[in-house]
């Protein structure tokens, strides 16, 4: 509805003056906001709320501090009570959801009740509904969109794309619940919320240690900067490169920098790690820079890139695919191929094709990582099941145009010692060119490449696994086991394996 209505309207006013019910003015700390997400579907788990997250980020960028988020059902009394409480407490109240023609769209009625008003047809909204839906019946369901609280104000967005107004009642702004429409509306009405006197400053610090180790340092920072700088500690068990993300926030850039210096002094030595949050966009620059560095790893990267570039010279993107099962070797390969393709085709629209040969009983963490990787690299995933030979037969049937498959094979893999960088499949196999850029890489080379460039890899490698198969034939590597200070068995990450010959000892 919000994105489709058309018509050029002048700025609308209120149906009647607002009553004297109090609203919260901007306080000494600047503008505040409360967000009310409305919908039974959120509370029942039928729909995931993304609107409050988007609103928080946008409002903070506008200088508005979000102080409270509430989720309420499609109930007039519940919504009205929350709206009244929020309106008296915060500078702005933003609601999301409950606008529409059906029985459970009760937000307009609830906001009216919060201020002791009735809903009534607004002439401009009536005209819009008639223009869009082609109806003149004032009792039709569509006309529910035009019946708003009596003191409603119609606010208009910036630019020609915002012909439909945002309804507000005093300091309460009523947004649609559909995420795409809500996001578009908030961006278009940002001028209503911008706080010129407030700007938030933030710094992130990434720590490769558990919270228990750094808690004393955080206590000292919090005590020293109480009221001037806020410090948040957020564990992340899914990251390959840090355990805790620390966030420093302040309205004073000077206080923020002082707190950051103090924090860095108090944290235990060696726990702070650098972090590249996006290794994909700069992949071509970083990978080719490493290839040109002259280091031992750089020389192997350069040789791998030459093999990949030769394949790209022989075959079009439509004729090649990358074998990818979520393992460490093919993760390194995919990053290399992505870098080479980005350098060769910087303006391409065609997606790189990735082949996933799904085994029986895969680890859930592996499946999740594969899906995340597909999104991260924006590739086209083709999933087939069975043995490698069976999978290639199916692939040839499904995509006969494919002629080459890039593989993450190393010479230490079974039956791979005599392979060459580019070789045909055996006569009894489906005819493909096997491209093997990583043949001469070692276990340590793979890990050095991934971690030096901050490439995400399957989290199982951080939990003691060094070679991944199915859940039925893969165990944690005993070579990585150790006993912690409390006598419990723990496992070091795969990249700390000392003897490369023990890489596959956990495979049954």
**Tens of pLDDT, residues 167-208:** 999 999 999 999 999 999 999 999 999 988 889 999 999 999
Rounded CA separation 80/474 (Å): 56
What is the percent of the chain where pLDDT is above 90? 80
Rounded CA separation 109/432 (Å): 66
pLDDT beyond 60 at 2? no
pLDDT beyond 60 at 295? yes
Rounded CA separation 182/158 (Å): 15
Residues contacting residue 227 through CB under 8 Å, at least 6 positions apart: none
pLDDT beyond 90 at 76? yes
pLDDT beyond 80 at 264? yes
Q: Are 63 and 195 in contact (CB under 8 A)?
A: yes
What is the percent of the chain where pLDDT is above 70? 93
Q: Please tell me the predicted confidence (pLDDT) of residue 164.
A: 79
Which has more confidence, 326 or 136?
326
pLDDT beyond 70 at 369? yes
Least confident of 8-22, 145-159, 299-313: 8-22
What are 399-415's pLDDT values in tens digits?
999 999 999 999 988 88
Q: Please tell me the predicted confidence (pLDDT) of residue 211.
A: 95
Q: Are 288 and 305 in contact (CB under 8 A)?
A: yes
- DSSP, residue by residue, 253-307: HHHHHHHHHHHHHHSPTT-EE---S--STTHHHHHHHHHTS-SHHHHHHHHHHHH
DSSP structure class, residue 30: B
Q: Please tell me the predicted confidence (pLDDT) of residue 135.
A: 73
Q: Please tell me the predicted confidence (pLDDT) of residue 29.
A: 56
Q: Please tell me the predicted confidence (pLDDT) of residue 24.
A: 55
Closest CA to 324 of 492, 475, 438: 438
What are 200-222's pLDDT values in tens digits?
999 999 999 999 999 999 999 99
Closest CA to 439 of 469, 467, 418, 425: 418
Q: Please tell me the predicted confidence (pLDDT) of residue 245.
A: 96
Give me 508's structure tokens. Answer: 């049954």
Q: What is the pTM of this model?
A: 0.77
What are 122-153's pLDDT values in tens digits?
999 998 888 888 877 778 888 899 999 999 99
Q: Are 106 and 75 in contact (CB under 8 A)?
A: yes
Rounded CA separation 498/477 (Å): 12
Q: What is the mean pLDDT of the chain?
A: 91
Confidence band of 242 (pLDDT split at 50, 70, 90):
very high
DSSP structure class, residue 498: S
Q: Which residues of 8-32 are buried (b: 16+ CB within 10 A; e: fewer)?
A: eeeebebbeebeeeebbeeeeebbb
Q: Are 164 and 185 in contact (CB under 8 A)?
A: no
Rounded CA separation 92/170 (Å): 9
What are 411-455's pLDDT values in tens digits?
988 888 899 999 999 988 999 999 999 999 999 999 999 999 999
Rounded CA separation 320/227 (Å): 58
Least confident of 5-9, 75-79, 83-87, 247-251: 5-9
Confidence band of 159 (pLDDT split at 50, 70, 90):
low
Q: Please tell me the predicted confidence (pLDDT) of residue 352.
A: 96
For every residue of 50-111, which 3-state class applies, written as one string?
Answer: CHHHHHHHHHHHCCCEEEEEEEECCCHHHHHHHHHHHHHHCCEEEEECCCCCCCCCCHHHHH
Closest CA to 35 of 84, 91, 95, 82: 95
Counting other chains too, the contacts that 471-475 makes at CB distance below 8 Å and 24 or more residues apart are 471/361, 471/362, 471/363, 472/360, 472/361, 472/508, 473/507, 473/508, 474/363, 474/506, 474/507, 474/508, 475/506, 475/507, 475/508
Q: Please tell me the predicted confidence (pLDDT) of residue 336.
A: 98
Arithmetic mean of pLDDT, 373-391: 92
Q: Please tell me the predicted confidence (pLDDT) of residue 16.
A: 36
pLDDT beyond 60 at 17? no
Q: Please tell me the predicted confidence (pLDDT) of residue 140.
A: 87
Q: Please tell me the predicted confidence (pLDDT) of residue 366.
A: 96
pLDDT beyond 90 at 505? no
Q: Please tell me the predicted confidence (pLDDT) of residue 3.
A: 40
Rounded CA separation 450/301 (Å): 12
What are 46-72's pLDDT values in tens digits?
999 999 999 999 999 999 999 999 999
């Amino acid at each position: 509805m919000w994105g489709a209505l058309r018509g050029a309207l002048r700025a609308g006013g209120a149906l009647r003056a607002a009553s004297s019910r109090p609203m919260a003015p901007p306080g000494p700390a600047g503008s505040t906001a409360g967000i009310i997400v409305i919908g039974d579907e959120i509370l029942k788990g039928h729909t995931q709320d993304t609107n409050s997250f988007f609103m928080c980020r946008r409002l903070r960028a506008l200088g508005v501090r979000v102080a409270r988020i509430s989720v309420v059902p499609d109930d007039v009394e519940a919504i009205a009570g929350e709206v009244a409480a929020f309106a008296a407490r915060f500078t702005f109240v933003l609601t999301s959801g409950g606008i529409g023609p059906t029985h459970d769209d009760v937000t307009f009625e609830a906001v009216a009740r919060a201020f002791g008003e009735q809903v009534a047809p607004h002439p401009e909204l009536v005209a819009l509904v008639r223009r869009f839906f082609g109806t003149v019946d004032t009792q039709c369901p569509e006309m529910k969109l035009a019946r708003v609280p009596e003191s409603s104000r119609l606010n208009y967005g910036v630019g020609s794309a915002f012909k439909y107004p945002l309804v507000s009642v005093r300091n309460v702004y009523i947004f649609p619940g559909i995420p795409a429409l809500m996001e578009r509306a908030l961006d278009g009405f940002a001028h209503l919320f911008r706080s010129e006197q407030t700007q938030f400053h933030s710094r992130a610090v990434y720590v490769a240690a558990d919270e228990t180790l750094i808690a004393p340092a955080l206590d000292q920072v919090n005590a020293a900067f109480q009221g001037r700088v806020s410090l948040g500690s957020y564990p992340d068990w899914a990251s390959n490169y840090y355990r805790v993300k620390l966030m420093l926030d302040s309205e004073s850039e000077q206080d923020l920098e002082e707190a950051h210096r103090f924090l860095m002094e108090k944290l235990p030595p060696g726990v702070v790690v650098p972090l590249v949050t996006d290794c994909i966009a700069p992949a071509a620059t970083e990978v080719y820079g490493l290839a040109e560095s002259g280091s031992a790893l750089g020389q192997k990267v350069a040789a791998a890139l030459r093999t990949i570039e030769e394949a790209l010279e022989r075959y079009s993107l439509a004729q090649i695919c990358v074998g990818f099962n979520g393992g460490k070797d093919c993760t390194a390969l995919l990053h290399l191929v992505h870098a080479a393709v980005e350098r060769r085709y910087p303006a391409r629209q065609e997606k790189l094709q990735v082949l996933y040969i799904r085994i029986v009983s895969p680890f859930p963490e592996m499946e999740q990582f594969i899906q995340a990787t597909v999104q991260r690299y924006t590739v086209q995933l083709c999933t087939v099941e069975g043995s490698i030979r069976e999978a290639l037969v199916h692939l040839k049937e499904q995509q006969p145009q494919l002629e080459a498959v890039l593989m993450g094979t190393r010479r230490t893999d079974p039956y791979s010692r005599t392979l060459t960088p580019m070789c045909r499949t055996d006569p009894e196999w489906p005819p493909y060119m096997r491209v093997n850029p990583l043949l001469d890489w070692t276990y340590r080379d793979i890990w050095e490449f991934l971690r030096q460039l901050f490439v995400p890899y399957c989290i199982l490698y951080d939990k003691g696994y060094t070679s991944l198969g199915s859940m039925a034939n893969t165990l944690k590597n005993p070579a990585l086991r150790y006993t912690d200070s409390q006598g419990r068995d723990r496992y070091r990450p795969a990249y700390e394996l000392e003897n490369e010959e023990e890489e596959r000892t956990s495979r049954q």
